[in-house]
Amino acid sequence: MTRIGGSITKVACCFILILMVSFGFGGKVLALTDDECLDCHGEEDWTTERDGETISLYVDMDMFNQTVHAENGCISCHEDAAEGEYEHPVPLASVNCANCHDQIGEIYENSDHGKAALDNHDELAPNCDDCHTKHNILPPDNKKSSTYPLNIPLTCGRCHREGTEMTQTHDLNQHNVVENYSMSIHGKGLFVDGLIVTAVCNSCHTAHNVLKASNPESSVNRNNIVETCDQCHVGIVNKFKTSVHSKAITSTDKKLPVCIDCHNSHTISRVSQKDFRLIIAEQCGNCHEYESETYFETYHGRASMLWGGETTAKCSDCHGSHNIMPSNDDGSMINEANIVETCAQCHSGANQSFTTYLTHATHNDRERYPYLFYTFWAMTGLLVGTFAFFGLHTILWIPRGLIDKIKGSGSNGKKTE
Amino acid sequence: MDNNEPLYIERFSVFQRMTHLLVIVSFLTLAVTGMALKFAMEDWAQWIAYVLGGFSVLGALHRFFAIVTFFYFFLTMILLYTKWRESEKSLLGFIFDSEGLVPNLNDAKELIATLKWFFGGPRPYYGHWTYWEKFDFMAVFWGIAVIGSSGLALWFPVAFSNLLPGYGLNIATIIHSDEALLAAGFIFTIHFYNTHLRPDKFPLDPVIFVGSISVDELKHERPREYDQLVASGELEELVQRQAPAPWLKRMSTVFGLFVVATGSVLIVSIIITMFSYIGKH
Q: Helices B14-38 and B168-185 sit at what angle, rounded to 10 degrees? A: 120
Residues of chain A neighbouring B154 (CB-CB closer than 8 A): 299
Tell me the pLDDT tens digit for each residue of A138-148: 999 999 999 99
Residue in A277, A314, A353 to test binding to B, most B beta-carbons within 10 Å = A353
Residue A86 is given by DSSP the state S
Residue B164, exposed/middle/buried by CB under 10 A (0-12, 13-18, 19+)?
middle
Which residues from chain B sit within 8 angstroms of residue A303, using beta carbons? 37, 40, 55
Confidence of residue A417 (pLDDT cuts 50, 70, 90): very low
The chain B residue lying nearest A355, using CA atoms, is B166
**Chain A hits for B226, Cβ within 8 Å:** 414
CATH 3.40.50.620 fits B8-280, yes or no: no
CB contact under 8 A, B40 and A382: no
Which pLDDT band, with edges at 50, 70 and 90, does B279 fall under?
A: confident
Residue A295 confidence class, pLDDT cut points 50, 70, 90: very high
Task: Note whether B56 contacts A: Cβ–Cβ < 8 A.
Answer: yes
Closest partner CB to B171 (pick from A371, A409, A411): A371
Provide the residue ranges of all domains of chain A, joining segments of one domain with +: 259-356, 370-404
Residue B224 to residue A414, Cβ atoms within 8 A: yes
> Residue A380 and residue A373: Cα distance in Å, rounded?
11
- Tens of pLDDT along A188-235? 999 999 999 999 999 999 999 999 999 999 999 999 999 999 999 999
User: Which residues in chain A have Cβ-Cβ distances shorter than 8 Å to B132?
Assistant: 390, 393
B185 CB within 8 Å of a chain A CB: yes
Q: How far is CA A39 from CA A33, A63, A104, B113, in A?
A: 10, 17, 34, 116
Nearest to B190 among A380, A390, A409 (CB): A390
Q: Please say whether the dihedral angle defined by the alpha carbons of residues B66, B67, B73 and B79, taken in this order, is positive or negative.
A: negative
Asked whether residue A2 carries a pLDDT value surpassing 70, the answer given is no
With beta carbons less than 8 A apart as the criterion, state whether A131 and A138 touch.
no
Cβ burial B206-224 (10 Å sphere, 16+ → b, else e): bbbbbbbbbbebbbbbbbb
pLDDT at A410 over 70: no
Reduce the DSSP state of residue A196 to 3 states and report it.
Answer: coil
Nearest chain A Cα distance for residue B248, angstroms: 25
Cβ-count burial A182-212 (b if 16+ within 10 Å, e if not): bbbbbbbbbeeeeeeebbbbbbbbbbbbbbe
| Residue A380 reports pLDDT greater than 70 | yes
Q: Is the pLDDT of residue A84 over 80?
A: no
Best probe of the B interface among A300, A302, A363, by most B CBs < 10 A, is A302
Residue B1: which pLDDT band, with cuts at 50, 70 and 90? very low
Residue B8 is inside which H or E element, if any? strand B8-10
Inspect the interface and report whether the beta carbons of B182 and A380 lie closer than 8 Å.
Answer: no
- Contact yes or no for B123 and A404 at CB 8 A: yes
Helix and strand element counts for chain A (H, E): 23, 2
| Cβ atoms of residues A301 and A361 within 8 Å | no
Q: Which of B125, B142, B173, B177 to mutate to test the interface with A (most CBs of A within 10 A)?
A: B173
Whether B171 has its CB under 8 Å from any CB of chain A: the answer is: yes
Query: Mean pLDDT throughout A288-317?
Result: 93
Q: So what's the pLDDT on residue A14?
A: 65
Considering only CB atoms, A351 lies closest to which of B56, B162, B193, namely: B162
Residue A390 is predicted with a pLDDT of: 96
The least confident of A23-37, A114-128, A131-145 is A23-37
Which residues of B, range 233-262, sit inside 8 Å of A by Cβ? Answer: none
Instruction: Give the containing element (helix H, strand E) for B27.
Output: helix B14-38
Q: Which residues of A touch B118 (CB under 8 A)?
A: 396-397, 399-400
The pLDDT assigned to A415 comes to 36
- Residues of chain A with pLDDT > 90, as a percent, come to 62
The whole-angstrom distance between B162's CA and the closest CA on chain A is 7
Mean pLDDT for the stretch of residues A278-299: 90
| B270 vs A406 pLDDT, higher one | B270
pLDDT tens figures, A143-172: 999 999 999 999 999 999 999 999 999 988
With an 8 Å Cβ cutoff, is B197 touching chain A? no
List the single residue in A with minimal CA-CA distance to B228. A414
- Residue B44 in contact with partner chain A when CB distance is under 8 A: no
Q: Which residues in chain B have their CB less than 8 angstroms from residue A390's CB?
A: 132, 186, 190
Contact A307 B55 (CB under 8 A): yes
Nearest of A183, A201, A204 to residue A260 by alpha carbon? A204
